[in-house]
Amino acid sequence: MKLRQKIILLAIAPLILALCAIALAVRHQATTLGQQQRTSIQSAYLASKEAELTHYVSLATRSIAHLYESGRTDAATLEQAKAILSKLDYGHDGYFFVYDLQGKNIMHPRQPELAGQNLWNLKDADGSPTIQNLISRANAGGGFVRYQWAKPSIHKTAPKLGYVVALPRWGWVLGTGIYLDDVDDALAKIDAQVSGNIQSTMLWIAAIAILSAVAVALSGLVLNISEHRVADAKLKVLAQRVVHSQEEERARLSRDLHDGISQWLVSIKLQIEAGIIKLSGTPEQAASAHLTFERTAALLNDVLGEVRRISHDLRPAILDDLGLAAALEHLAQEFTAHAATATDFNTAGSTDGLSDVANTVLFRVAQEALTNIERHAAASRVSMRLEGNARCVALTVCDDGVGFDIDHIDGHPKRGIGLRNMTERLEAVGGKLSLTSSLNGTTVQATVLRL
């Protein structure tokens, strides 16, 4: 996987993880709030139902209060009370029922077949003794009882909330109840609504995550394409510089060969030919030929020296044989002799262990720096220092010349080629070029990290 792809992946992964964490937090909060809402609604709904049941039973007891408070317990009075209670209803499923304290049904308007039956041992679908619980609650002063009972309007068992009171003079338990299936339906709708809202929120978060990931990926793609274009443009410029540098090097080598070696070789050829002619002449001419050959030999030595100089400029053998420090010291000595500028060289620390390419880069940087000093600095003294540690090796070249405007040189399209070459050479081996210049001189520092 390429570095850019890894960077894009590292950008998308935290985004997706963050959105997932947000989604989990939102889901947890929404579920908690939904449960709290459900509990609140259920409590409020049941409270209203309980108040309603209390009110209904209060109305029922007041409707027969004149009979109950008369103190009569005869059958006619009890029948009159049952007739009144049987006519009191509220809706299809709202009615009153009466049991005696032994569990026998006295009155049931919606299920008259239960009248006279003893239902003491009756249990609902949950296994709870329904009639026993109702009688027990009534004897305890009255109250609410939950149980399962057949709902008249649908002829199916449904949860019911009953409220009962005792009429001890008659030995009755009077009560009524409200079916809670509509409460369960309302709560089920709330649960479905909450679940739908949570699902919708999760879908929105998922959509946002996908869109964000796509946006990051597209941004990375656009950036990648842009960087590729910039890299291609830089590569073209670099290729042009390489070609230009090669042409300059070839031109310089051509001048060196033409102006130096070629002319000397022509001179040597002419002198040898003249000496050969003199050898076949008089004894005086033969003696003169000897002097001619001596001058020719001296010229040959000069030619050999020029060949060594050109060879050294192309690739110094001492760099491969003795290492970077020795090659730089030799370069300083040559510059002192050639440019007549005092050049000091010293080393510090461990400077070995660099690759051959890195050694060559530092040597070329030193060559370029000395060439610039010779052409532009008008310096009287130059110092070179090579120092190394466990992390890097640094080459520093200082002069006391006139200096130059670094920003002006960097911004000029036709100047600073040597500086750009040094920078690009160092960047190719993971190094860095540092440059400072003022009226008191210039300092060039090249740093290469150890592998």
Q: Say if residues 183 and 39 touch (Cβ distance below 8 Å).
A: no
| pLDDT value, residue 5 | 64
| pLDDT value, residue 382 | 94
293: confidence class by pLDDT, cuts 50, 70, 90:
confident
Q: Which two tokens stand for residue 172?
A: 């009755």
Segment 26-46, tens digit of pLDDT: 888 878 887 887 788 778 888
* 381-388 and 342-349 beta bridge pairing: parallel
| 382 vs 126 pLDDT, higher one | 382
Q: Which two tokens stand for residue 170?
A: 């008659």
pTM listed for this prediction? 0.45
Between the ranges 152-156, 170-174, 177-181, 422-426, where is the mean pLDDT highest?
170-174
Q: Say if residues 446 and 394 touch (Cβ distance below 8 Å).
A: yes
| pLDDT value, residue 200 | 86
User: Measured between alpha carbons, how far apart are the two ends of the chain, in Å?
Assistant: 23
Q: Which residue has the tokens 């939950």?
A: 146
| pLDDT value, residue 8 | 65
Report the phi/psi class of residue 441: left, alpha or beta, with left for phi > 0 and alpha for psi in -120 to 50. Answer: left
| 218 vs 343 pLDDT, higher one | 343
Mean pLDDT of the chain: 84
Measured in residues, the chain has a length of 451
258: confidence class by pLDDT, cuts 50, 70, 90:
low
| 431 vs 195 pLDDT, higher one | 431
Q: What is the DSSP string of 298-339?
A: HHHHHHHHHHHHHHHHH--HHHHHT-HHHHHHHHHHHHHHHH
* Beta strand extents in 213-359 (DSSP E only): 342-349
| pLDDT value, residue 76 | 93
Q: Is 451 helix (H, G, I), strand (E, B) or coil?
A: coil
| pLDDT value, residue 411 | 57
| pLDDT value, residue 347 | 93
Give the CA dihedral 38, 39, 42, 48, nearest 10 degrees.
-130
| pLDDT value, residue 190 | 79
Measured distance CA(346)–CA(348) in Å, rounded: 7
Burial class (CB in 10 A: 0-12, 13-18, 19+), 354: buried
Residues 6+ apart with CB under 8 A from 184: 159
| 230 vs 414 pLDDT, higher one | 230
| pLDDT value, residue 314 | 64
| pLDDT value, residue 3 | 56
Q: Say if residues 400 and 411 touch (Cβ distance below 8 Å).
A: no
Res 203 pLDDT > 90: no
- Averaged over 297-314, what is the pLDDT? 73
Res 49 pLDDT > 80: yes
Buried b (16+ CB within 10 A) or exposed e, 124-141: beeeebbbebbbebbeee
Segment 165-195, tens digit of pLDDT: 999 999 999 999 999 887 777 778 878 887 8
Q: What is the DSSP string of 92-118?
A: SS--EEEEETTSBEEE-TT-GGGTT-B
| pLDDT value, residue 387 | 94
- Averaged over 204-226, what is the pLDDT? 79
